[in-house]
Structure 1
Amino acid sequence: MNESFHLTLIYATYQDMGSVKYVLFTGIFLIYFVSLIVNISVLLLIYLDISLHKPIDFLPKELNAFVSMNYVLFPPLMHPVIYGLKNKEIQHCLSKMRKKAMFVVSQR
């Protein structure tokens, strides 16, 4: 069975605007096209200039290693804490601890 496929493009957003919709479409297309050309130019510049292939380190090596380790370790370590605070039992326990801490501080 041979069926033809027909695709219709509808400017739903600009339907009631008359001929202005073509001007708006052209403007948006030009913005998109210019940004595409700029991004391709930057990629070509990075590809063609060998000095841009290496990352630039602004920090000393020890500090750079410390920052890298923080990016690797900190989010997984904070994950249980962040999502544990959403647990009702932990919220209840934390509120009890907060009340006890306020009682101890007020006794001094």
Structure 2
Amino acid sequence: MAGKYMHRVTLQVEERVRLPLGGDRTSWVDWKIDVPAEVVPLSGREFTAATAEHGQVSARMEVPFLPGVVNTMRLLFDGQIYAIRAVLPDPTARRHLTLMVDAGISDG
């Protein structure tokens, strides 16, 4: 897709696997790769807590409409993990989704 979708992201889902000797193992697996996206940083902040520096970035990412995208997923963009905090559908025609995301503190 041309135009405003100049970036590419990968959407991931959390997968839990039951281990043979008991317990679970959790990992993130790719759900959709090379998804066209528009990435708009909204804010960034740095602070010091417990003598360690942390940074957090909030962004809005718009992708073409994909059924099944939920806020328990995460996405990868430019080597960074973003937790999806909200999925906002296009209210008129199901042409796109707006994903409110953040990176840094929780890393999805």
TM-score calculated relative to the size of structure 1 = 0.17
**Structure in which a larger fraction of residues adopt strand:** 2
**Structure in which a larger fraction of residues adopt helix:** 1
Higher RCO, Cα 8 Å, sep 6+: 2
Bigger Rg, structure 1 or 2: 1
TM-score calculated relative to the size of structure 2 = 0.17
